[in-house]
Structures are given as structure tokens and as C-alpha cells.
Chains A and B, each alone.
Chain A
Amino acid sequence: MSHSSADEAAKGAPQQEVVLMKGNEAIAHAAIRYGADGYFGYPITPQSEVLETLEALHPWDTTGMVVLQAESELASINMVYGGAATGKTVMTSSSSPGISLMCEGLSYIAACELPCLVVNVMRGGPGLGTIHPSQADYFQATKGGGHGDYHFIVLAPSTVQEMADFVGLSFDLAFKYRTPAMILADGIVGQMMEKVVLPPFRPRRTPEQIAELCPWAATGNPSRRKPNTITSLELDSAEMEKNNNRFQATYRRIEEAEQRSVSYLTDDAEYLIVAFGSVARICQKAIDDARGRGAKIGLLRPVTLWPFPEKAVAEVASRVKGILVVELNAGQMIEDVKLASRCTVPVHHFGRLGGIIPNPGEIDNELERLFPEAFPSKS
């Protein structure tokens, strides 16, 4: 459990080494390097490599990080709940059906204003569904999932590098706003390998650092202060409304400060694709092909799904003639695109369901079908 061993690990490892690994493996490496205190999870395809990699790296011998395979997803999220309540940097990961099981715990964690990281590497649903890539948990991640008026920060990586980078970003934001953060990935970016530069090692926080950063934490040391109580229960409705108003004030601050998105060729775009995660990359290739045939199409990739980058979408929507939202679902993010664009231009949807990945050519065909006037040779 000593922190000097983390320093040794930091000295021993090359910090800028470029490696080839899966997105799931990158999550595990990044968590150890961030100085995470604990991972609690239960295996499920297509994200089992997160737990497997952590077990293989046995960080309990170096940084002191706890890695525990719990007996279920319910146990995992409640271990995260407990760890987070003590101000520790804790996380879990799962895939769609497992995240459904965790939603009760997520609601409690959000209600207690606790920071943690939850990784969802989505697979095709509903139900047990398939093990293949999907984005059908967008609503669950961004609109709730559990009960009550709560939100948490949702980041959508599209590369293995972002899988690594968003671990630290998620923890930073989670502690800044005292809220859970989710990395909402899909089976593509979880399973594919790319080159990645892993973040540098940082030591785990000391108890003193935790006490300073998390004065609310239940650290079992109340001798010099009033005991901290962490509970979501408040039977006085007037007090519960105050709590809710505080949560909502936090959400408005997050919406104001943390919208993130990436634009590709939107400056001269006459038509726009909005897509997130690995699907945005498939769309990027479709756009390159379409531009080769004279069609001025751009891409806007939301990086934060909550808060949704409504300012960026509204800005680009105000100067294009039509929008196509491409998702691995039956039409979820399209609702936020319609709201952000205020439906000032037609907003269409193209989706594949149940674990099927569209090829770039399918998206090109859809662009031609919906926006024939964008293709000079066709009109």
C-alpha cells in the first residue's frame, strides 16, 4: 500500500512509449497510471479485458490499487459507492446488461454527490442481446437509467488513445463536480487495437490529500470535525427539494463549462453528419469519399454526450441545409440534435441495430439518398 512503490513504478516505466493495445486494455493501464485506488467489476463481453488486464498487471503489488472481481454487478457498483464515499478514486466497468443492473446504485451515488468512474462498453440490446457493438444505451447514459432527477458526465471515446485519456479526464471532472462520470464506449473501440501513448504514472492520493480534496468524505476520523454523513435518504421533502436544487445547480454549471465536441470539415460544409464514438470515424471516411465526389459534408462529433454540446451543434446547424445523425441505435442522440438545432433544418437518422456495424459505403449511400443536391454529378 505504500506510495513509494508507485514512484518506483513511475521511474521504471518509459512514459512516452507508444504501444499497440485494445481500448479495453488502455482503460486498465490508464486507471493504474492515474493513481486509482480501486476497481470493482464483473466480467461481461465485450469489456472483460478491462478486468483481465488489471489482474494481469496486479497493481496491488506496485501502486496498492485494489482490483476485485465482485460476485455481481450489483455488488460491484455498491463497492464503488462505498469506496467513493471515503473519497477514494474508484471505478467499475461493464457492458450494457451489466450497466442496467448498476443503475440503482448509480442513482444513489449521484444522490450522494460522489465522484466515481463507470465504463460502459456497449453491446447490442435490449435484454441480453448480442456481444457486438452498439450505441443503444445513449438514453440510459444521458437521461437517467436509474430513478430520480440526476445526470452524470458522459464521455464518448472514438479512439484507443481517447479510451486512455478519458480515464483521467473522467476522474478529474468527477471530483471537480462531485458526480459520477461515465465513459460510454462501444464494442468497436473496446475491442480494436491502435497505437496509444499511455499517460504518465501519478501516485495515489495520500489520506491527507483526500482529506483536503474531499472534506465531505466519510474517512472514519471525526476527532477534529463533525462526523460526515453520506446518505441519499431525506424524509423531509423541503430538505429534499433543496438537495435537488443543489444537484440541478451543479448540472447547470457542468452544462455551461464542460460541453466538448470535435469538428471535421465543418467550415465550408453545406450538410452535416453528427455521430459519436467509433461511428464518427466510419462517418469520417464516408465524408472523405463524398467530398471526393464534390459533396461539401462536415462532421460534428460530440465528445461529451452529457452535457450535450448543444452550442456547437446549434452553431453549425445554423449554416447547413440538412443534418444526418448516424448511430448504432434506432434514433436516440437525434433527439438532442433536434433540440439543439431547434429543427431549423431537416434532421435525419441512419442507424444499424443489434450489433451490426455500417460500412462507410452504407453511410455514403444514405447521404446521396437524403441529400442528392449535395452531389454535383448526381443532380
Chain B
Amino acid sequence: MKTEIIIAGFGGQGVLSMGKILAYAGLMHGLDVTWMPSYGPEQRGGTANVTVILSDEGPISSPVLDTFDIAVLLNQQSLDKFESRVKPGGILIYDSYGVHTPPQRTDITVYRIEAMEATFDMPSSKTYNMIVLGALLGIEHIVPSESVDLALEKVIPSRHHDLLEVNRTAFRRGMELVG
């Protein structure tokens, strides 16, 4: 099984970090993974995206893709750019916050999540990406939650491990959004 995912949104939303936690969770689960970012000025605003591939079929060939099994699209620009590139039968997850033209396709499964709304009740707005990751894994069980827990410990430097709990809480909140 190979799952090809794109995560796209505003620079600063935590798109790349979310991809990294997902990739690390895949690694913890014994999968082959690639994480390929759009890099450069995006991190100072504009749109950022990352392609994450998780596979139990051995080494992954291309880290860049034409089409995706799952697209997690967190702003209008990303929806406009990537809706057409979801494989037929695939999954599109989008955050309705600030989106004026929702996805139109009928040959894919579309999930609308209110992750930005949920962030307003959280102690830190910086956990937005963990809410989205919780929603993604609540919708499609790509890797177990325990692997995400282990990944957080790897990705968050040990000097910041006081932030583990708030991230785990946000992850659970994301799962509840789609539960």
C-alpha cells in the first residue's frame, strides 16, 4: 500500500511541520517515506506545500507527483491549484476558513473541516497543524496515533518537550472534529 499525500496552505500555518510529523510517524510505523517541500520564500508568507509519500512496498521512486490519493488544502489558493490533481476516488480535505469557492468535484470524497475555528479554543494557535493532522488521520487511518505520539517526541526538540501535551491535545481535538 502506498499513500501519496499533498498538504498545502499559507506559509507559517505549519504545513511543512505537519508533513514532517506525518512522515516521521510513517517511519515509526516501519514504512518507507519521502517528504518533499516547496522551499524558499514561501516560509515568509505566500503558499507552502509538501508532498508526503508513505509506502510499505519498498523504496519510493519519485518524490514529486502528478496526482495524489489525499489532498489537505488549507486555503483558497491551494484548493484552486490542487483540487484537479486528486486521483478519482481520492480524498480532499479542506478548511472552510477563508474559502469562498468550495471544491466542485464529485468523483472524489470531500471533507470540510473547521480546524481554524477549533484553534480559537486552543491554548496555542500554533497547534493548528496538529488539529489538521488529527482530522486527516481520523478520516484516513494511514498511521496509528501511537506513531504520531512517537513522531512528536522526535520532531519537537527535547528542550521543548513541555509542548508535547498541547500538541497531543490538539491532535485529539482534530480527531474529534471528524469523529
Contacts and interface: CB of A to CB of B under 8 A. Distances in A.
B37 interface: yes
Interface stretch (A66-74, A90-98, A100-108, A357-365): A357-365
A45 B64 contact: no
A353 interface: no
A20 B23 contact: yes
Interface string A264-300: 0000000000000010011111101000000000000
Nearest to A45: B40
A191 B65 contact: no
Interface stretch (A192-200, A250-258, A332-340): A192-200
A188 B36 contact: yes
A177 B35 CA distance: 36
B37 A288 contact: no
Contact of A187 (B23, B39, B66, B154): B39
Contacts of A288: 61
A191 B66 CA distance: 19
Contacts of B64: 188, 282, 357, 359-360
Contacts of B32: 194-195
B27 interface: yes
B61 A284 contact: yes
A225 B66 CA distance: 64
A46 B39 contact: yes
Contact of B62 (A18, A20, A132, A284): A284
B156 to A, nearest CB: 14
A292 to B, nearest CB: 13
Contacts of B60: 194, 281
B61 A193 contact: no
B20 interface: yes
A193 B39 contact: no
B48 interface: no
Q: Which of B59, B61, B154 has the most CB of A within 10 A?
A: B61
B168 to A, nearest CB: 20
Contact of A20 (B33, B37, B63): B33
B20 A193 contact: yes
B24 interface: yes
A46 B63 CA distance: 17
Interface in A360-379: 360-361
A327 B62 CA distance: 14
A192 B63 CA distance: 8
B33 A281 contact: no
A281 B64 CA distance: 9
A238 to B, nearest CB: 52
Contact of B27 (A195, A282, A357, A361): A195
A131 interface: yes
Nearest to A278: B63
B19 to A, nearest CB: 9
B34 interface: yes
A188 B63 CA distance: 9
A131 B33 CA distance: 24
Interface string B51-84: 0000000011111111000000000000000000
A131 B37 CA distance: 13
A20 B31 CA distance: 11
Q: Which of B23, B39, B62 has the most CB of A within 10 A?
A: B62
A193 B62 contact: no
A194 B64 CA distance: 13
A194 B23 CA distance: 8
Interface in B1-53: 20, 23-24, 27, 32-37, 39-40
Given A359-B64, A360-B65, A131 B35 contact: no
Contacts of A132: 39-40
Contacts of B20: 20, 193
A281 B62 contact: yes
Interface of B: 20, 23-24, 27, 32-37, 39-40, 59-66, 154
Given A46-B39, A193-B23, A357-B64, 17 more contacts: A20-B23, A132-B39, A188-B64, A191-B37, A192-B34, A192-B35, A192-B36, A193-B20, A194-B34, A194-B60, A195-B32, A281-B61, A281-B63, A282-B61, A284-B62, A360-B66, A361-B66
10 contacts: A20-B35, A46-B39, A46-B40, A191-B39, A192-B36, A194-B63, A282-B64, A285-B65, A360-B62, A360-B65
Q: What are the 10 closest A-B residue pairs judged by CB atoms, nearest first? A: A285-B62, A193-B35, A284-B61, A361-B66, A285-B61, A282-B62, A359-B66, A192-B36, A281-B61, A131-B40
